[in-house]
Amino acid sequence: MGMAELAGSRPAWRRRGEIELQATAEKASHALNMDAEPESGKCNAWAASGPDGILSPYKIKRRVVRSDDVSLRITHCGVCYADVIWTQNKHNDSMYPVVPGHEIVGQVTEVGSEVKGFNIGDHVGVGIYVNSCGDCENCNSFLEHHCSKRVVTFNGIDTDGTVTMGGYSNHIVVRERFCFKIPDGYPLAKAAPLLCAGITVYTPMIRHNMNQPGKSLGVIGLGGLGHMAVKFGKTFGLKVTVFSTSESKRNEAIDLLGADNFVISSDRQQMESLKSSLDFIVDTAAGDHPFDPYLSLLKAEGVMALVGFPSEIKVHPGSLIFGSRTLSGSGAGGTKGIQDMLNFCAENKIYPETEAIKMDYINKALERLTNRDVKYRFVIDIANSFN
């Protein structure tokens, strides 16, 4: 989901104030009146117009391609829980109409005069962010997701004051820096979830050196993010243990994804048997859950990385102090990391587990996502959804 990273931008909205949000939303709404706009600027989309979150067909306008821009025809877009949050105004900062979608892939149709890395016809992807300042310490280190001026792909305010509209649409224009090459031969429908779910778990694994064979990995939760953590872990040569509250996921974890072990997290005996045995844990669970039982499973100086977004974290100091364990946060990834991950997935034939849908199924899909009824990521077939 990448929710830790996306929700982290919420205070910035608060600082802008309700008056600015209202003014910006009105400006965006005015821009959507396209009776006098050139045909090239028009874009078919699906948008939510209010907090009921119901999406329906909508016309939006994309900007004219600038010198450092890439325009792409969207072929597929993954469905993330962030799409539920902002279409339903769960953070009280949605600017309607909201066009969701930040797991975007497609084909380049136009490039700006200064674009060096892309050509017309290239297969490309766009993820959680579409802009940043480009010149701070984080941007200069290819950690744009930490830039204080980063702009999210939808429901964000871009540098020109417009509200960003996401991938539930048939084309998008973005800066070259935030466009990524999908390696030749990699299926576009499978590439979409990598732009959020994939990079969100890949980033902390690389940062904490969990790409070294023989280490032990724990994965909490087996949804869109969790199943990618298992796939990465097995490709890295790790011994992978999946933690879940649902026995029904055992066969999927072991047989489908290749995990070495499956543990029901509420079973105290199973948990006790794994004390001080794991080098690293990636926690993808979004709901509230205890942390101390998991921290006790780490070896001395082990790390637990939180990529989900529970409402609170409660930890006994001893869980960290004894054993010098670390509880770390992580979200999304920078531009270099995203391209590295895409290349890694192509080289190792790592493919997310997806369910293909058409755009007119999206409201049902979001309902199913809320009810955790998806294995493991919905991907919208955009190319065959707009006629």
* Residue % of the chain over a pLDDT of 90: 85
pLDDT of residue 310: 87
* Whether pLDDT at 38 is above 60: no
pLDDT of residue 32: 37
pLDDT in tens, 133-147: 999 999 999 999 999
What's the chain's average pLDDT?
90
DSSP 249: G
pLDDT band at 2 (very low <50, low <70, confident <90, very high): low
In this structure, are residues 254 and 262 in contact, taking their beta carbons and an 8 Å threshold? Answer: yes
Task: Return all residues near 212 (Cβ < 8 A) that are at least 6 apart.
Answer: 236, 237
* Whether pLDDT at 10 is above 90: no
pLDDT of residue 6: 56
Question: What value does the mean pLDDT take over residues 19-23?
Answer: 40
Instruction: Read off φ and ψ for residue 223, nearest 5 degrees.
Output: -100, -145
In this structure, are residues 232 and 212 in contact, taking their beta carbons and an 8 Å threshold? Answer: no
* Whether pLDDT at 28 is above 70: no
pLDDT in tens, 234-262: 999 999 999 998 898 999 999 999 999 99
pLDDT of residue 7: 52
Q: Which of 8-22, 71-85, 361-375 bottoms out in mean pLDDT, i.e. has the lowest?
A: 8-22
CA torsion angle for 45, 46, 48, 52 (degrees, to 10)?
A: 180
* Whether pLDDT at 337 is above 50: yes
CA–CA dist 371, 363 (Å, integer): 13
Q: Which two tokens stand for residue 49?
A: 């117009």
In this structure, are residues 239 and 217 in contact, taking their beta carbons and an 8 Å threshold? Answer: yes
Q: Which of 2-6, 17-21, 233-237, 305-309 bottoms out in mean pLDDT, i.e. has the lowest?
A: 17-21
pLDDT band at 15 (very low <50, low <70, confident <90, very high): very low
pLDDT of residue 40: 54
Question: What value does the mean pLDDT take over residues 188-199?
Answer: 97
36 dihedral zone (left: phi>0; alpha: psi -120 to 50; beta): alpha
* Whether pLDDT at 29 is above 80: no
| CA atoms within a 13 Å half-sphere pointing along the CA-CB vector of 1 | 26
The residue type of 66 is R
* Residue % of the chain over a pLDDT of 70: 89
Q: Which two tokens stand for residue 354?
A: 């997806």
Best CA proximity match to 258, nearest among 227, 284, 285: 227
CA–CA dist 375, 236 (Å, integer): 23
pLDDT of residue 42: 87
pLDDT band at 107 (very low <50, low <70, confident <90, very high): very high
Instruction: Read off φ and ψ for residue 371, nearest 5 degrees.
Output: -90, 10
